Amino acid sequence: LRAGRGEAWGPPCDEHLCSALPVPALIPVTAVCLGLFVVGVAGNLLTVLILWRCRELKTTTNLYLGSMAVSDLIILLGLPLDLYRLWRSRPWIFGQLLCRLSQYTSEACTYCTILHITALTVERYLAICFPLKAKVVITKRRVKAVIGALWAFALLSAAPFFFLVGVEQPDNQTDFSRECKAVQSGLLAAMLWVTTSYFVLPVLCLNVLYGLIGRELWRNKVQARGPTGTLREKRHRQTIRILGESQSGITQGMNLDHRTSSLFYLSASINPILYNLISKKYRAAAYKLLLHYLYNLRILIYIIWTNPL
């Protein structure tokens, strides 16, 4: 960029500012990312509140979805810092800890989301292909334990990223040269293998499970009798649609360097939209919750208005 279009649009770096992209490219990228930030934070926060408050939605599947919403929310909270790095890649002014922690958190939450989708797909496979065994094996307590294990494994496997990056300032250079970037070249190759494994292995696993689930759903469709079988098949298909779209979002987010790609944040913002489009129960719960908070807000405004200080 600096050697190509950057020369036509003006150099990205001068004595006051060093941006990762030319300004004409930064403006639309920033606008898209800010829109994803607002939609994603609001949507994932609403998802967490809905699944926490509504008892009828506290199913094993929704336990996974709620945990994924927390992971996506943490990812989105790091977006403003990434935008700052796009506009001002150096000097880095936030210190060594925040440099390392931001990269580590982003990677760990990405891994966590992938593991959640894989585990949820395994659960759906058991529920569809082995329904009687699934009722005994899949319980809320066990799902909570699995979710805890997934978080622990994701945090542990992303740990090298904490040491992979750091604030680098070449010798005999001014403070303006401080930059948050990869400083451990030896760890870089190893972490590339870890990241590749987190992409390739889950995708292969998901494709196999989707094939088995699709075959079982086709059999059930042929054998289904009465409204109960039709309703059960509809619920299964609904869950698979959510999982399929979530996998697509992860694929988009990992195709490019997520530090400079709005697609990475698209994958963290899209899930609440999918839930709203696909699930009638989610829409009803969201509407009820929003009405509740709007009512409380009106009462608060009325109290403040009628009782001035």
Q: What is the pLDDT of residues 20-72, one digit of tens each?
A: 777 788 888 889 889 999 999 999 999 998 888 888 888 888 899 899 999 99
Q: Is residue 190 part of a domain?
A: yes
Taking the model in full, what pTM does it have? 0.78
Three-class DSSP category at 18: strand
**Is the pLDDT assigned to residue 246 strictly greater than 60?**
no
pLDDT-derived band of residue 9, with 50, 70 and 90 as boundaries?
A: very low
**Other CB atoms closer than 10 Å to residue 135's CB: what's the count?**
11
Is residue 11 scored above 50 in pLDDT? no
Which structure tokens are listed for 161? 């990223």
- How large is the average pLDDT for residues 3-28? 61
pLDDT of the residue at 7: 39
Domain annotation covers residue 177? yes
The answer, yes or no, to whether residue 248 has pLDDT greater than 70, is no
pLDDT value at position 295?
81
Is there a domain that residue 290 lies in? no
Is 309 within a domain?
A: no
Q: What is the mean pLDDT of residues 153-167?
A: 87
Cα radius of gyration rounded to whole Å, the chain: 23
Q: Which residue has the tokens 């300004």?
A: 23
The pLDDT of residue 207 is 85
pLDDT value for 112: 92
Whether 120 is covered by a domain: the verdict is: yes
- The percentage of the chain sitting over the pLDDT mark of 90, rounded to a whole number, equals 18
Q: Is residue 287 part of a domain?
A: no
DSSP assignment, residue 15?
S
- 227 belongs to a structural domain: yes
Tell me the average pLDDT across 265-287: 81
Query: What is the domain count for the chain?
Result: 1
**Distance, CA of 111 to CA of 71 (rounded, Å):** 9
pLDDT digits (tens, 9 = 90+) for 178-200: 778 777 666 677 777 787 888 88
258 inside domain: yes
pLDDT at 273: 82
Of 253, 79, 104, 83, nearest in space to 164 by CA: 104
Q: What is the average pLDDT score of the chain? A: 78
pLDDT for 166 equals 80
What is the CATH number for 244?
Answer: 1.20.1070.10
Domain residues for the domain of 99 are 5-278
Q: Highest mean pLDDT range out of 157-161, 274-278, 283-287, 299-303?
A: 157-161
Nearest 5°: CA angle at 287, between 282 and 292? 125
pLDDT for 115 equals: 92
- Residue 176, pLDDT > 70, answer no
